[in-house]
Chain A
Amino acid sequence: MRKDWDVIVIGAGPAGLAAAAAACDAGAGVCLVERESRPGGILKQCIHDGFGLVRYGEKLTGPEYAWRDIEAVRRRNIPIWTETFLLELQRAGDGFVLTMQNREQAVFQLTARALVAATGCRERTARQIFIHGQRPAGIYTAGTVQHMINIQGYLPGRRCVILGSGDIGLIMARRLVLEGARVEGVYEIKPEPSGLTRNLVQCLQDYNIPLHLSTTVTRVLGRERVEGVVVCPADENLRPLPDRGRIVPCDTLVLSVGLIPENDILEPLGVELNPRTGGPVVDQRLAANVPGLFSCGNALHVNDLVDYVSESGEIAGRAAAAYALGRTQPPNHAELVPEGDILYAVPGRLDLAAGGKAVVYLRANRTIGNARLTISAGDKTVLRKRYPVLRPPEMERIVLDLADLPAGAGAVKLSLRGEENG
């Protein structure tokens, strides 16, 4: 069956932009679909710097970083359907049909041989972490605050409490102070911060914003607008100790309590998701279990550096092009099984037929010292690595050459062992 496109990329954030450019360079006819009015994804609102150190060796702001990818897409004349909303996604024959709507074309359909889902993530909300009280105005996720300040030019609050020490929360703490708001503190239920060290230093310490570990918010006070929050210490099992709660007056509660990959649109296709990452289970080509479907960026798993997001986009884009142009073999999969102190690893399986090099991203499930990572197949160890310290917020990237695997390898083991309190 003829298709409108070899590859359609859903989402024009850094992952999708990189995927489209890579697919084009591999010879595929490709287009992008984006529901917002402009490409760039979440980077549009990340006006702080620190992006691009790995990929460009430069410190860029989010919009600057995105601009380079947008230019790359423009140079290749890859069309982007913006403000275009996906209504239905279906498999049809050896490809996909996308039913969409926008202002100009009303409702229309596009078909493609391969699909790259680069839909990013959404933020966890106050209700999902069970904060109680009434529902006054002034409870926002960090991303919403970032959008209000950096895109719309609105100051959402003057006296803020930040819950969760994720990177966006830390960055917004600083941003709010720069806009003249007071930040009463950052509260983190875990005994360790979840953001990058560089953000702890540059966003909190440099601005004298206190960080309270093993402490959480259990209740919001106020009826119309937030008037305060109840903060409570938490025990080792992360259970709040309500008897020791105290009130912190504030007018805004900012939540930075986690990101959830957005893959809801893929559910009708019967995609297999990894419960640990929230993203599809993929192989090293970032191919999901649905033939022709590829995943990358934050929709695959939540990244802390955009540079790796772009890398995954390139991998997915190239692989999608190869698939669409009929340059791939039927896959021969071996599971990649994480063991020991690993929180998660991506990919979840290796396609031995495709061969080549596999980029493996992984996170430790706790802070560990003197950590040893081994990759083995049968009784052959194919890769060994040592880390003085590993922390869950910092993702590790390793490259595995599939040529090193013994022929006919069944499961490949990825094992991490370290010492407590490294």
Chain B
Amino acid sequence: MANIRAVQKALDALGIGKLEARPWRRSVVLEGRVRTWQDYIRAGYAAAGKGFKGVVNDIEVEGLEREREYIPPVRDNTLEGKQFDVIVIGGGVIGCAIARELTRWQLRVAVLEKEDDVAKQTSSRNNGMIHPGIAPARGTKKLHYNILGNRMYTQAARELGFALERCGSLILLEKSWYRLLAPLAKQQALQKGVDGVILLSRREVFRREPYATPAQRGGVLLPSAGVVAPYDVTVAFAENAVENGAQVFLHTMVQGFAMEHDRIARVLTNRGRIRAKVVVNAAGVWADKVAGWANDRFFTIHGRKGTIAILDKKTRAYQSGVLAMPRLGSKAHTKGGGINPTVEGNLLMGPNAVEVPWREDWSTGPEDMEFLLSRHLPLNTRLRPGDIITYFAGVRACTFEEDFVVEPSEYVANLVHAAGIQSPGLAAAPAIARDVAEMAVKLLSGVMEVRPNPRFNPVRRPNPRLTDLSLEERALLIRSNPAYGRIVCRCEAVSEGEIVAAVKSPVPALSVDAVKRRVRAGMGRCQGGFCTPAVLDILARETGVPPTRVVKGRPGSELVLAPTKEPGEGSADA
């Protein structure tokens, strides 16, 4: 039962100033002022779990600078007056997977993404793990969608042509008495629906992972755990959606809704006002803001940043699957992380978890790296700090309930939320997408006839990748198109042909970073030192813009600023 007094008591007990809780619909709204972001977070959690549907944390933090949210610099009317059956807000893995599910029906579907590419925010800033589903608590949506999503990945990978490696996850036990708990853990996992749980002794762990930390006292192996390249998955969903008739609009930001009674009548964007019969909110870290425009903000997103380090490919030989060693009793959200392989043959280390007031701040700091080096690196005794080739951060979109929000709005007739999709959101994506698409179709059925799409083709033919081909296949491809014969990125052995194909694909790669996400040029040891200049020239040539207009990512990230004093001269040929 919702208990507003219990919330107020919990807030008062924190002793961090005068805070007020008031019920709103089935949720609770918090108001007042606190001194630090940590206090804001504590208040939010204090209010959660007291029987309300959600916590709307409107507490102000003194002196906190407002985030400069990214707004695309484009302003035009290209979408003014356009009509769609479904608009999906957000081109992350969730939005793109939903769009693809929707194309199973005869619908006009549009994905609106404010960034310059799909998979720009959290969906490319994660570990790429398809979690086995052991972590989420029973009764949560997280658990439900994680278990289902994990199973669905096998078919999705086959149909969409992205790599999936079921390398298994091994949870190491740190103290011997944990082994007493292990059978219990196994029973729990089976009850949760995890596909396969195997208990390993210390010796068995070493047999599987010879370089595992000597601190381990045995482990729990979860063979259903896998890894994918999260940007590949997102691009694959998006491209298959486009192949089946959906449209993806980049640089397109939703900035409000025009409401008519309990319906969203128009979606307001920087490129015009669009009509839609149903709107899907898959806006990641901004999903609460989007809900607010429809006066349906019954949850709050707060960012939890995680930093991940990428290790050189030569380390892949030192580990067979995922390794983690949770510390029981440590603070709730810092437990996770570990070392996991990638489908491209690297190892990843991390993430950590830090509550941050800025949702689009992907900067890393020395404290993050120190944490990874002290906590995660020792899990594998062969790894050295010098094996790190790069690192990055992502921000999880957390609610105070710590669960996914996947449901049609209770108050807005044509809005479906896919919000609060933090980890294991990638693993859960196919399952969430199926349900959300069904919810959208149900809403549509009230206003139109929805027919299956007879031309829906679930199979996407991905562009060829040289590194996946046998020598014979490689030779054939080069003979059919010699551009595949010229290697541009030497660390990852990526050819000019692959880059050109990425520029011409259904969701075209139009920046150096987009090329990198599609074909891995610049992701290797030298981090683009050698290939960036070449990629720049290919992009300029293929897209017909001058080199000074080629960008790294967003508009404003031009790589070179002007021609040199004597253009063309100064060449070493002279």
Contacts and interface: CB of A to CB of B under 8 A. Distances in A.
A45 B572 contact: yes
A155 B563 contact: yes
Interface of B: 68, 70, 314, 361-366, 369, 386, 388-392, 471-472, 474-476, 478-479, 482-483, 485-487, 490, 493, 525-527, 529-530, 532-533, 536-537, 547-548, 551-574
Interface of A: 35, 38, 40, 43-45, 47, 62-63, 66, 83, 85, 87, 99, 101-104, 106-107, 122-123, 125-128, 130, 132-138, 140-141, 143-144, 147-158, 179-180, 218-219, 223-225, 251, 264, 267
Contacts of B567: 153
Given A150-B570, A151-B572, A132 B363 contact: yes
A127 B493 contact: no
A155 B562 CA distance: 5
Nearest to A221: B363
Contacts of B389: 125, 127-128
Contacts of B530: 122, 144
Given A87-B471, A106-B474, A133-B364, A154 B547 contact: yes
B529 A122 contact: yes
B563 A154 contact: yes
Given A137-B551, A147-B533, A63 B560 contact: no
Contact of B493 (A43, A87, A99): A87
B560 A156 contact: yes
A104 B479 CA distance: 8
A132 B369 CA distance: 10
A106 B568 CA distance: 31
A264 B436 CA distance: 47
B390 A127 contact: yes
Given A35-B490, A123-B526, A125-B527, A149 B564 contact: yes
Please indicate which of the listed interface residues B365, B472, B537 has the most CB atoms of chain A within 10 Å of its own CB: B365
A135 B366 contact: no
Contact of A123 (B474, B529, B557): B529
A309 B369 CA distance: 37
Contacts of A102: 485-486
4 closest A-B pairs by beta carbon, nearest first, are A103-B485, A44-B572, A224-B556, A154-B560
A38 B560 contact: no
Given A127-B391, A130-B369, A155-B560, A85 B493 contact: yes
Considering residues A45, A140, A153, which has the most beta carbons from chain B within 10 angstroms of its beta carbon?
A: A153
Contact of A153 (B475, B485, B561, B570): B570
Given A102-B485, A137-B551, A107 B561 contact: no
B560 A125 contact: no
A224 B572 contact: no
20 contacts: A43-B572, A63-B572, A101-B478, A103-B483, A106-B474, A106-B478, A107-B475, A122-B526, A123-B526, A125-B390, A135-B362, A149-B570, A151-B570, A152-B533, A152-B536, A153-B563, A154-B536, A154-B547, A155-B560, A224-B553
A144 B565 contact: no
A372 B364 CA distance: 46
Contacts of B68: 223
Nearest to A179: B564
B134 to A, nearest CB: 32
B203 to A, nearest CB: 29
B471 A107 contact: yes
Given A63-B572, A144-B529, A225-B556, A152 B537 contact: yes
Contacts of A154: 533, 536, 547-548, 560, 562-564
A151 B571 contact: yes
Contacts, number: 164
A43 B487 CA distance: 21
Nearest to B307: A132
A83 B554 CA distance: 32
B34 to A, nearest CB: 27
A129 to B, nearest CB: 11
Choose among A44, A130, A149, A150 the residue with the greatest number of B CB atoms under 10 Å from its CB.
Answer: A130
A40 B572 contact: yes
A144 B532 contact: yes
Given A130-B369, A225-B557, A153 B529 contact: no
Contacts of B573: 38, 63
A225 B558 contact: yes
A38 B562 CA distance: 26
A152 B472 CA distance: 35
Given A144-B529, A154-B564, A267 B314 contact: yes
A101 B486 CA distance: 8
B125 to A, nearest CB: 11
B574 A107 contact: no
Given A225-B556, A225-B557, 12 more contacts: A63-B574, A99-B471, A106-B479, A130-B366, A132-B363, A144-B529, A148-B533, A152-B536, A154-B560, A154-B562, A155-B564, A156-B560
Nearest to A148: B533
B80 to A, nearest CB: 27
A155 B561 contact: yes
Contacts of A151: 533, 570-572
A101 B485 contact: yes
Nearest to A251: B561
B227 to A, nearest CB: 22
Nearest to B467: A87
Contacts of B485: 83, 101-104, 106
Contacts of A141: 529
Given A137-B557, A155-B564, A35 B390 contact: no
Nearest to B554: A224
B559 A156 contact: yes
Contacts of B363: 132-134, 219
Contacts of A133: 363-364
A127 B311 CA distance: 11
B488 to A, nearest CB: 10
Contacts of A158: 561-562
A28 to B, nearest CB: 27
Nearest to B312: A264
A138 B552 CA distance: 9
Contacts of B369: 130, 132
A158 B563 CA distance: 11
A62 B572 contact: yes
A122 to B, nearest CB: 5
Contacts of B571: 150-151, 153
Contacts of B526: 122-123, 125
A140 B566 CA distance: 22
Contacts of A153: 563-564, 566-571
Given A103-B478, A106-B485, A107-B474, A179 B565 contact: yes
A87 B529 CA distance: 20
A144 B560 CA distance: 11
Contacts of A157: 561
Contacts of B391: 127
Nearest to A108: B475
Given A153-B569, A224-B557, A225-B558, A103 B493 contact: no
